[in-house]
A and B are shown apart, each in its own frame.
Chain A
Amino acid sequence: MKLRTLLLGAVAATAFAPAAFAERGSDGDVKVLYWQAVSIMNPYLSSGTKDIEASSMVIEPLGRFNETGAMVPWLVDEIPTVTNGGVSADLTSITWKIKDGLTWSDGSAFTAEDVKFTADYCMDPDGGCQQLAKFDGVSSIEVLDPLTVKVTFERAMPNPYGPFMGAESPILQKAQFENCTGANAPTCSTENFYPVGTGPFVVEDFRPNDVITFKANDKFRDPAKPAFATMTLKGGGDVTSAARAVLETAEFDYAWNLQLAPDVLNSIAEGGKGQTVSAFGTLVERLEMNLTNPSAELPAETRATVAEPHPFLSDIRVRKALSMAIDRELLVEVGYGRAGRPTCNLVPAPAMFASDNTECFTQDLEGAKALLEEAGYVDSDGDGVREKDGVKLAILYQTSTNAVRQDFQLLIKDWWRQIGVETELRNIEGAVFFGGDPGSPDTFQKFYADVEMYANNFAGTDPQPYLAMYRCGNEPKPSSQWLGANINRYCDPEYDKLIDELGQTGELEKRAELAKKMNEMLTKESYTIVPLVDRGRVSAHSNSLGGVILNTWDSELWNVADWHRVK
């Protein structure tokens, strides 16, 4: 084991050295495996991750998100902000200044006209653009000069980084796509399969749903990159064989998104021909505490609604004790391995929005017991279950049917038993649990249980809509057909004020501060939501491939220009 660590260290140390001296195309061919095959190279016509990621090597956005979720300038010199004047003070416009001297892979100049064309292409009412959400609220795009473009919004946008940011919103060449707008867009197969781009590679041969071959873009802005002369991107197969092809046989250099059980992935990784890399986004597996009473004895109109507070979970000390009893490290080890890490946060990322709250990492059974004692819950009748005023700490704990979730249920039940809380487990078929049918008593919105467990995340890097879900009155209730995102029935006027403030704040630092505060109000200050595991993504690359930085905020292939052969 030690020898292996040393060797890996040596590999890592040499990994960075050759990159600086490499010249374009010196490292031959790189083979990438996507177990979902790529069918188009235009992300505006497909919402499939595989299509978006494959196209990200050819066409690029103005700015990208890096592995921490922070914005990095890509085809511009800097990210426009309120501070540098790129975003207007009233948050209604953003002005991008394009890098000087950029060219397309066909040699023509990259101008602001191309940027404006891209927006018009996607916002064409006949087009059916898959990334229209990125252009939400845009009222006009103006070309101020050949290298400056201004996006104006209908209203104040605290987060104006929708258009032209990230792999979902790259720039198309106007000259190429001019005749492919509106209803014609899907019919232009040559354009959609062989886009002209600014990225490190250009498509040489495209076979839909099978293999794509790329060659290095000889007009790429960095003369030393990419290190590979060609790339072969093979699609199809299944996850397990993709993992084997990289980790066991090294037939391929890179395999994407390996959703496998940790022990299965580990046994494949013992092949030793490659290594797994993981990166984390915003998906958090959590326990939701029901603040209202789900008892079946209550009438249907008030059961699990704010009219009936929960008999014991409305006491913060009980909720906190339940959280303290959990050993999150062990949950990760059992359920997710490399694809998970413990978290105490509802918003675990991007780094600037994530609170540094780690106090829940240490399991404290004694502390939990003491807290329950303090709250007046004692085991007076000697049956191992604490009670107060005739109310027993008996919890119905539900989740969807899934092997990992059932293992979690067993472990958590065991810990709760040790602090004197009785737990009844229930698992519901995922289609029903997440189905949202107002007629079914088993949906997660109806929450006819005391505690439930599932995972949720937010799209993009801005947590505002996600945190705004916990507004008073946004809870599922009979009058709203049990729709609503405030699953816990949380209500705090202070919190609502912060939601409003966040909606009017444009400065990133201030927004981050507010988001952290709101996250803490929901987690460590109230234990309404008890986060367990931050679930990430695992990919694998061969030992001879260097420069891989896994990124969940943008395309996994975002830095493919830096990939190189480790010698």
Chain B
Amino acid sequence: MTDAPPPIQALQDKVPSAPPRSQWLDVWSQFRKHSGAMVGAGFLVFITLFVLVGPYIWTLDAQALNMRARDIRPIYTALWDSGAKVDWAHPLGSDNLGRDGLSQLIAGGRSSLAVGWAAMVLTLVIGTTVGVLSGFVRKLDGPLMRLTDLFLSLPILPLLLVAVTFFRQPLRAAFGPEGGMFVLIVTVVALTSWMPTARIVRGDILALKEREFVLAARSIGTRPLHIILRHLLPNVLSPIMVSATLGLATAIITESALSFLGVGFPSDFPTWGKMLADAVPRMEDFPERVLLPGVAISLTVLAVNYLGDGLRDALDPRTRGR
């Protein structure tokens, strides 16, 4: 009986130098290296808490009129203009009807973010589904892409006017004036902005499904649904993330355009876009009424953009570790 010869040193498996790590831990450590994404995520958490918890801390009603305290400037104006009308009761000032600036910013953020996120998620769901189906299922490709072309040629504003005319009453009856409008706006914004996502996803899927790893998966009998979920979708995550960030911004801006035309939320329902549009005529005298919601919209969109950028880098195994 002889002992087995010792394996050649060079062929011996290396003992792992560190304990095994899960995929998501890798993603996280990569994500943390992207400082822009970290700042973006931080701001997004902050703004979300600001609009969700804000009303419990700053309890002034955003819609309460107070004619005795109107046209108050924000506290910081006192730094350079000692004669400015400021009041600690209204740290961000008040508008020409005496509505508090801070609570309006909170309430406006609630509706704007809700519309933005909901429309974005819906856009992604529709866009990705259509893109994946037309890329993966050859028979559906033609009809779905022609449908995409059809939607691309729809002008959004006339469509919205028609939709409001037809669906305002039933939705109002079902969800109330604000809820009904929310559903309508989110649906219409999503219905008119999923097409770029669908086209990008389709293009990527078409290229990916001819790759060897998909062939390998197919050859071991993986079912199409699993191929899509496990092999294709994670690989098209980056373009989806980019569309998502753009979609959020579009939704917020579209909502404000609608309010301006008078087919959006009721005129006493604050949103960032509406606050911005309302403040334009008095921009010279009260720049903060344009700046505050404008900066809030810009920062939110920027934060989502950076977050998306970081997520894309972190999720892509090819860029991970670089």
Chain A positions near chain B (C-beta within 8 angstroms): 261, 263-264, 267, 296, 330, 334, 400-401, 403, 406-407, 409-411, 413-414, 424-429, 440-442
Contact = CB atoms under 8 A, between A and B. Distances in A.
Contact of A261 (B63, B262, B278, B281): B281
B263 A429 contact: yes
B145 interface: no
B78 interface: no
A411 B96 CA distance: 11
Nearest to B278: A403
15 contacts: A263-B96, A263-B285, A264-B281, A334-B67, A401-B260, A403-B278, A406-B278, A409-B267, A411-B97, A414-B64, A424-B266, A425-B267, A426-B262, A429-B261, A442-B165
Interface of B: 63-65, 67, 96-97, 165, 169, 173, 177, 260-263, 266-268, 278, 281-282, 285
A298 B268 CA distance: 28
Among B63, B173, B261, B266: residue with most chain A CB under 10 A: B266
Contacts of A330: 67
Contact of B97 (A263, A334, A429, A442): A334
Nearest to B66: A414
A489 B264 CA distance: 29
A514 to B, nearest CB: 39
A296 B173 contact: yes
A414 B67 CA distance: 11
Contact of A414 (B65, B261, B281): B65
B71 to A, nearest CB: 8
B100 to A, nearest CB: 14
Contacts of B63: 410
A429 B259 CA distance: 10
B267 A440 contact: no
Given A401-B262, A427-B262, A407 B96 contact: yes
Given A334-B97, A426-B267, 16 more contacts: A261-B281, A296-B169, A296-B173, A334-B96, A401-B261, A409-B268, A410-B63, A410-B268, A411-B97, A414-B65, A425-B266, A425-B267, A428-B262, A428-B263, A429-B262, A440-B165
Can you list the 10 inter-chain pairs with the closest CB atoms, starting with the nearest?
A: A401-B262, A427-B262, A406-B267, A425-B266, A296-B169, A414-B65, A427-B267, A429-B262, A425-B267, A424-B177
A326 to B, nearest CB: 13
Nearest to A433: B262
Contacts, number: 54
A264 B71 CA distance: 13
A100 to B, nearest CB: 55
B281 A403 contact: yes
Contacts of A429: 261-263
Contacts of A403: 278, 281
Contacts of B267: 406, 409-410, 425-427
B170 to A, nearest CB: 9
B282 A263 contact: yes
B262 A410 contact: no
Nearest to A439: B165
B270 to A, nearest CB: 11
B261 A410 contact: no
Contacts of A440: 165
A448 to B, nearest CB: 9
Nearest to B173: A296
A548 B177 CA distance: 51
A403 B65 CA distance: 16
A83 B285 CA distance: 57
Nearest to A414: B65
A267 B285 CA distance: 9
A263 to B, nearest CB: 7
A237 to B, nearest CB: 19
A424 B278 CA distance: 19
Interface centre among B96, B268, B281 (most CB of A within 10 A): B268
A241 to B, nearest CB: 14
B286 to A, nearest CB: 10
A424 B181 CA distance: 13
A65 to B, nearest CB: 34
B168 to A, nearest CB: 9
B182 to A, nearest CB: 15
B266 A426 contact: yes
A201 B268 CA distance: 53
Contacts of A424: 177, 266
Contacts of B169: 296
Contacts of B97: 334, 407, 410-411
A185 to B, nearest CB: 42
The winner among B97, B173, B281, B285 for most chain A CB atoms within 10 A is B97
A392 to B, nearest CB: 14
Contacts of A442: 165
A403 B169 CA distance: 25
Nearest to A430: B262
A440 B166 CA distance: 10
Contacts of A267: 285
Contacts of A411: 65, 97
A407 B282 CA distance: 14
A472 B266 CA distance: 34
Nearest to A407: B97
A63 to B, nearest CB: 41
Contacts of B177: 424
A238 B173 CA distance: 46
Nearest to A297: B173
Contacts of A263: 96, 282, 285
Contacts of A428: 262-263
